[in-house]
Amino acid sequence: MNERTIRPRRSLIFAPGNRPEMIPKALATGADIVTIDLEDAIAPNDKTAAREGTLGWFAENDDFGGVEPVVRVNCLRSVEGLADLQAIVESPRPPPAIMLPKVKSPGEVRVHEELVEQAARPIRLHVIIETNEGLDACIEIARSSELVDALLFGGVDMAAELRVEPTWNALLHARSRAVHAAASAGVDLIDVPFLDLNDMEGLAREASACAEIGFTGKGAIHPKQIPVLNECFSPSEEEVERARRVIAEFDGAGTGLVVIDGKLIEKPVLRSMHRILAIAERMGRGA
């Protein structure tokens, strides 16, 4: 089983699967993740064409310009979702990762894991937490497979499930539980997009608040939101320098803990330090 790759996941933007000609444009927006959507953006009568068009694009393209491409399939508890997964594992050049929506249990993740292992396809996973059942099981879901690279918090659907408006205060408890789950599994956590394109200050406030409580990125609905998201989820120069120092100290110590500036630092913090340097490298600031 492949180990998780530490990489920046500060921003995510969607491209509709029934318009594969839009994928290169999405890859050029500056987002860290481009998700090609076979689910919500696709009408029922267009599902087959979207699936075929998306997989046809991946069959002809393997240079993503450093961007992480992910295909959002339909829910695995649906006929379309099972058809998506079967087509992906049988494709001659499948996407490197898929996104599972409306996940309610670790079992759904393991279905994917078993199929890709049988097909010998190293297809990674992003998992959306957007149901009450998924929130209840989010720690088990996050830990259910080494193929899971990130959780996504589906705030709009979650708000509907919780019978509240999708405001910050109403969803803070649910967001915090998702933070706990992602941190416990050592995976990234991406927040729901901010839906008001005319409120860039509101976008920055919400993204900064997400970063403060432990999210590693946030979705976008328009390319103009991406620079704000990348800035909010990028480390400062001071954080980059501290990450270099912590990693160097651990490399030299050969133990599970070090003391820096009088503070005890244990080895699990190294993943966060390596992630900071991965983002710094993406920003052209060196590793």
**pLDDT at 286 (0 to 100):** 52
Average pLDDT of span 50-61? 96
pLDDT, tens only, 75-90: 999 999 999 999 999 9
- Under the banding of pLDDT at 50, 70 and 90, the label for residue 191 is very high
DSSP assignments along the chain, one per residue? -PPPPP----EEEEEETT-GGGHHHHHTSS-SEEEEESSTTS-GGGHHHHHHHHHHHHHH----TT-EEEEEPPPTTSHHHHHHHHHHHHSSS--SEEEE-S--SHHHHHHHHHHHHHTT---EEEEEE-SHHHHHTHHHHHTS-TTEEEEEE-HHHHHHHHTS-S-HHHHHHHHHHHHHHHHHHT-EEEEPPP--TT-HHHHHHHHHHHHHHT--EEEESSGGGHHHHHHHTSPPHHHHHHHHHHHHHHHHH-SSEEEETTEEEEGGGHHHHHHHHHHHHHTTS--
pTM over 0.75: yes
pLDDT, tens only, 139-179: 999 999 999 999 999 999 999 999 999 999 999 999 999 99
pLDDT, tens only, 125-134: 999 999 999 9
Average pLDDT, the chain: 92
Question: Is the pLDDT higher at 3 or at 213?
Answer: 213
pLDDT, tens only, 22-41: 999 999 999 999 999 999 99
**pLDDT at 264 (0 to 100):** 83
Residue 2 has pLDDT above 60, yes or no: no
Phi, psi of 252 (to 5 degrees): -80, -30
**pLDDT at 254 (0 to 100):** 76
